[in-house]
Each structure stands twice: as C-alpha cells, then as structure tokens.
C-alpha cells in the first residue's frame, strides 16, 4: 500500500475507460467497507477507499460532530481539505483520472463538502443520505459536474428540507443534480444500488488518465 495521508485500499482498474471511484464509508466503516459496493456499482473501475481520520467512540468518521446532525464545521473544512490533498496525491501515485465519489451517510457528507470546497477534485458524486455539510460553504463553481443525491423519505437522521437545501446549494454552484427521494430510511437498499449503478454506467466513462 502506497504511503499517503489516509489509510486506504486501492484496487486497480480491470476495464479501460471507467472513471475511478472514491469510496467514502459511513460512521463506523473503514477502508474495506465499500469495496464490494464499488465493484458492484462500476465493474472494472479502479477503487480508492480511504479511512476517515476521526474516531467517535472508537468508530471511524471523516469529520467530527457536536451531536447527531450537528457538525463541527471547522473540522469539516479541515478534513475536506486534507481529503482533497489525499485524492491529488493518490491520483499521482496510482495514475488515476479524477474520481467519482460514492459516499454513504458521513462519507456522503464529506463528499458534498469536497464538491463545494474543491471544484475539480471530483468528476462527480453519488451521495447516499447526505446532509448540508457547511452552513456557508463558499462560492464554489463546478459547471456540469454530475451528482446523484439519494434521500430516504422516512430517514430519521436527514430531514427532507435539509436534503432539498443541499440540492439547491449544489445546483447553485453549477452541478447537474439528480435528486431522488426513495421509500426508505437511512440505510442503503437495493433501490439505491440500482439507481447508483445506472448513474455510473451513464456518467462514469473516463477521459484520458492523468499524467505526472
């Protein structure tokens, strides 16, 4: 494993022309957690899966929170900046194009922060049960970046208004957002998998690989 800022797993592509996936786990996951999901969503794509740097009661996360749904926004900014630097270093180390993020819950929230703070780092994103990560994210611009936001109609953690506000924030920054509200709670289900797979099949074709 290459020594980069985040503990991670990397699985090289087995099919040319697929955009790499940046897999971002939820609270309590780790760098192995979403590898099977990544292989299912985009067969043959390279998979880059970092572990969150923060521990909450022994469970890895990508940033600190003050309570459920209340984020330490200074830490969100710090961790998003560090994750952006990790992605840049990993692209150089492994010869990757800009990745598409696939994030669940806490991982989806840090992916949203990455989109808003670092335009161009991601080629797009699948955000599963994401919330607004920053009250004032700044004036990012990433015209046309494809984003699929999958919310649960009965999600006890993410209010419907919050997911709608995240959609508006991303659209205002220029993203091409598809927001689907599913008959689901906070957990990942088969509808999420089917929609994400279709989205990545449509949007996840790679340009030329990055050069050193």
Catalytic residue set: 105, 155, 186
Element (H, E) at 56: strand 54-56
Sign of CA dihedral 76, 79, 85, 86: negative
Q: How many CB atoms lie within 10 A of CB 116?
A: 23
Helix (H, G, I), strand (E, B) or coil at 11: strand
Q: What is the DSSP pairing of strand 65-67 with strand 59-61?
A: unpaired
Give CA–CA dist 149/159, Å, rounded.
14
What is the pairing mode between strands 47-50 and 70-71? unpaired
Task: Say how far apart CA 69 and CA 91 lie, in whole Å.
Answer: 32
Which residues are 24's β-sheet partners? 103
Tokens representing residue 191 in the block: 């509808």
């Amino acid at each position: 494993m290459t020594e980069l800022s985040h503990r991670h797993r990397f699985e090289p592509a087995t099919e040319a022309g697929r955009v790499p996936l940046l897999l971002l786990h939820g609270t309590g996951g780790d760098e192995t957690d979403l590898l099977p999901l990544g292989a299912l969503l985009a067969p043959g794509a390279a998979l880059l899966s970092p572990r969150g740097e923060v521990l909450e009661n022994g469970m890895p996360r990508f940033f600190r929170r003050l309570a459920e749904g209340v984020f330490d926004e200074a830490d969100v900014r710090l961790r998003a900046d560090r994750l952006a630097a990790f992605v840049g270093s990993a692209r150089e180390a492994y010869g990757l194009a800009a990745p598409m993020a696939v994030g669940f819950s806490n991982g989806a929230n840090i992916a949203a922060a990455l989109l808003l703070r670092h335009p161009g780092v991601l080629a797009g994103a699948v955000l599963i049960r994401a919330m607004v990560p920053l009250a004032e994210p700044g004036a990012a611009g990433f015209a046309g970046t494809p984003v699929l936001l999958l919310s649960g109609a009965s999600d006890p953690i993410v209010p419907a208004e919050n997911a709608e506000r995240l959609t508006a924030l991303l659209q205002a920054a220029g993203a091409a957002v598809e927001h689907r509200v599913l008959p689901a709670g906070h957990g990942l289900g088969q509808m999420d998998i089917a929609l994400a797979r279709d989205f990545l099949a449509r949007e996840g074709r790679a340009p030329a690989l990055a050069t050193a």
